[in-house]
Amino acid sequence: MSVQQVTQPLSRQKPRGEGLSEEARVGYLFVAPAIILVVVIAFWPIVQSIWFSLTNYLPDYPQYGSSFVGLQNYGKLFQDVTFTGSIGWTVLFTVVSVALEFVLGLLFAIVMNQKFYGRSLVRAAVLVPWAFPTVISAVVWKNLIWQNNTGAIPGFLHAIVPGLVPSDWAPLASSSSLIAAMIVTDVWKTAPYMALLLLAGLQVISSEVYEAGRVDGASVMQRFWRITLPLLKPAIVVALLFRTLDAFRAFDIFFVIAGSALQSMSLYAYNNIIVSAINFPLGTAAAVCIFIGTIIISVIYVRGFGAQIVSA
């Protein structure tokens, strides 16, 4: 992207001679360090991971050598129910948590965009959950909210609605309540982030548009559906894209709250690449699958919804 930005204005002067103009050449020279950096720290490791996922190389056992095995690792990967299960959990987690975060975030953003006494205090307060590192909020929520004897929720639900949950209810013990617990934790933490991105979008919408709407007699709901949402769309799409990618690669919440009992794709990759000494190829194959997944998500957002990442 940076290449385009720099060369576009320069290209207008291009017809003077053949090839690149002096200024274009200097321009490339200036961006070269950035490009080299990206290639070295982002592109090269990705290529290497893809290569590792096609071999049987084990870093802990270099004496076994490394040979090309084609797509064998991917075959094994998709036979592993832990991995196929992790795809399902990851997708469920992503879809539900991002949807809830969007609704809540939009609500917060609209409230924070109004003029009222103590607005800056509210804006700061809403952001507090986002300021916690995810591991910390996950540990706190696990022990103080969800854990059966030390957490607030199981006892609270049992006390207010007798019979709703059994006295020995353990939200973390079954997969369905476990994923729900993780989604709620994630929504608590990242809805403010969503709100912040959407608030930025709201602030660019000119108040004149709303005044014109009011003069024409548009109701509050009409103004929301016909003015706010369409004008907010670029901000919404970018915010959703960021959050979807983040949620899809979720590691820390699963690592802390679920342990190995319910794995996200990233946690599966971690367990095989870092913890295991013998499943390295399988782990890199899983990592490549995550990479492909993120590309698919990005393409859907950019092509399908017209996300304009650069200008936003």
C-alpha 163/C-alpha 79 separation (Å) is 41
3-state secondary structure of 61: coil
Q: Which amino acid is at 228?
A: T
CA nearest neighbour of 283 among 70, 61, 43, 82: 82
For 299, phi and psi rounded to 5 degrees? -60, -45
3-state secondary structure of 271: helix
Task: Tell me how far, at minimum, the Cβ of 135 lies from another protein, in Å.
Answer: 5
CA nearest neighbour of 283 among 273, 274, 297: 273
Task: Tell me how far, at minimum, the Cβ of 205 lies from another protein, in Å.
Answer: 32
Task: Tell me how far, at minimum, the Cβ of 291 lies from another protein, in Å.
Answer: 5
Which is closer to another protein, CB of 232 or CB of 290? 290
Task: Tell me how far, at minimum, the Cβ of 193 lies from another protein, in Å.
Answer: 14
Which is closer to another protein, CB of 2 or CB of 175? 175
Q: Is 148 exposed, middle or buried (0-12, 13-18, 19+ CB in 10 A)?
A: middle
Task: Tell me how far, at minimum, the Cβ of 275 lies from another protein, in Å.
Answer: 6
C-alpha 187/C-alpha 185 separation (Å) is 6
Asked if 185 and 258 count as a contact pair (C-beta separation under 8 A), the reply is no
C-alpha 95/C-alpha 23 separation (Å) is 47
Which is closer to another protein, CB of 9 or CB of 259? 259
Which is closer to another protein, CB of 238 or CB of 256? 256
Which is closer to another protein, CB of 27 or CB of 154? 154
Asked if 212 and 226 count as a contact pair (C-beta separation under 8 A), the reply is no
Which is closer to another protein, CB of 108 or CB of 255? 255
Asked if 97 and 264 count as a contact pair (C-beta separation under 8 A), the reply is no
Residues in Cβ contact with 304 at an 8 Å cutoff, skipping those fewer than 6 apart: none
Task: Tell me how far, at minimum, the Cβ of 236 lies from another protein, in Å.
Answer: 23
C-alpha 51/C-alpha 53 separation (Å) is 5
Give the binding site for another protein (CB under 8 A).
Answer: 41-42, 45-46, 48-49, 52, 59-62, 82, 133-136, 139, 142-143, 147-150, 167-168, 170, 172-173, 249, 251-252, 255-256, 259-261, 266, 269-271, 273-280, 283-284, 287-288, 290-291
Task: Tell me how far, at minimum, the Cβ of 267 lies from another protein, in Å.
Answer: 9
Which is closer to another protein, CB of 125 or CB of 135? 135
